Chain A
Amino acid sequence: MRALFFALALSIAAPALADSNLPPAYWAYRQLPDPKQEAKAQALMEELRCLVCQGQSIADSDADLAGDMRDLVRRRIAAGDRPEAIRAWLIERYGDWISYRPTAEPIAWPLWAAPIILLLFGGAMVAGRIRRKRA
């Protein structure tokens, strides 16, 4: 009984987070009518970081600002903008941090090189073993 009461109380409690006075932006929870454009927008939204819940993408977040960012992405895609132009616009304002896709800038080179280095290292180890077994 108590548990049920608490469950009910939880379900009607308003979140303590500051929610704004306005309903979500028009394209925040609506898909674009053109499936090709919607797919492009969706792919980009999954790679953009939410400014409020910093571990989530704007596709996953329910924050007002994430909804506004989805609205911005869908509007621009519908207007014919390339996804990379929208990503660049946001990076210009918030830094590389806003995009989940690692950059090709020198700072990320070790990251890109890591699989190749590990593969070479593994290959060398295997080669060493085989040679030792033969001997």
Chain B
Amino acid sequence: MSRALRILPIILVIWIVGTFAWRLIEPDDPTIRSQLINREVPAFELAAAVPGSAGLKSTDLASGKPRLLNLFASWCVPCVDEAPVLAMLRRRGVEIDGIAIRDTPGAMSAFLERYGNPYSRIGSDPTSRAQLALGSAGVPETFVIDGKGVMRLQHVGPIYESDIPEILSALEEAR
């Protein structure tokens, strides 16, 4: 057996141990990102989530002005954390549309009454159809949509106060 062949197992062991060490030091990021960033919002048309308010169509999002599309739910605990931050963004003039995932009008009304309603429109997505079309994997998630209806940024998880600069600059860039 040649020398090169004899050191092959040693190289393999080093390679395997190295791979383990690398993944232990730098674990895989389990965040699922939409592949549709920089593409047009896929078509959807949702009925109003609460009686008396407007529903949400994908074409509503191409309004000539950048806006946020927030996926949330009344049963989603981190969405409660996010509510005051969305209110802050609204006070700064940011337009926000919502998609209520798997929710009932009653629970949604109670949620909005308790935590505030920064939304221009809220569409109801009872079987996560719009969520799947958008490439989103959970709540809360927020997309920055530019004036032409192109998705520019996906924020996975609640928007905290510390994320406001990132969101505002993405909205500015989408102008």
Where the two chains meet, the residues of A that have a C-beta atom closer than 8 Å to any C-beta of B are 18-22, 25-26, 51-52, 54, 64-65, 68-69, 71-72, 90, 92-95, 97
Contacts and interface: CB of A to CB of B under 8 A. Distances in A.
A52 B101 contact: no
A79 to B, nearest CB: 14
Nearest to B79: A18
Contacts of A22: 102-104, 126
Contacts of A52: 137-138
28 contacts: A18-B75, A18-B76, A19-B75, A20-B73, A20-B75, A20-B102, A21-B104, A21-B107, A22-B102, A22-B103, A25-B126, A25-B128, A51-B138, A52-B137, A64-B128, A65-B128, A65-B137, A65-B138, A68-B131, A69-B128, A72-B127, A72-B132, A92-B35, A93-B35, A93-B132, A93-B133, A93-B135, A94-B135
Interface in B17-52: 30, 32-36
A94 B34 CA distance: 6
Contacts of B36: 92-93
Contacts of B101: 20
A90 B34 CA distance: 10
Contact of B127 (A18, A21, A71): A71
A45 B32 CA distance: 19
Given A18-B75, A64-B102, A93-B135, A54 B129 contact: no
A20 B107 CA distance: 11
A92 B37 CA distance: 11
Contacts, number: 67
Contacts of A68: 102, 127-129, 131-132
A61 B137 CA distance: 14
A52 B131 CA distance: 13
A26 B132 CA distance: 16
A82 B72 CA distance: 32
Contacts of A25: 126-128
Contacts of B126: 22, 25
B74 interface: yes
Interface string B73-97: 1111100000000000000000000
Contacts of A18: 75-77
Given A51-B137, A93-B134, A21 B102 contact: yes
Interface string B105-144: 0010000000000000000001111011111011000000
B68 to A, nearest CB: 20
Given A68-B127, A69-B132, A51 B75 contact: no
A72 B129 CA distance: 8
B34 to A, nearest CB: 6
Given A72-B129, A93-B133, 14 more contacts: A19-B75, A20-B73, A20-B75, A21-B73, A21-B107, A25-B128, A51-B32, A65-B131, A69-B132, A72-B127, A94-B135, A94-B137, A95-B33, A95-B35
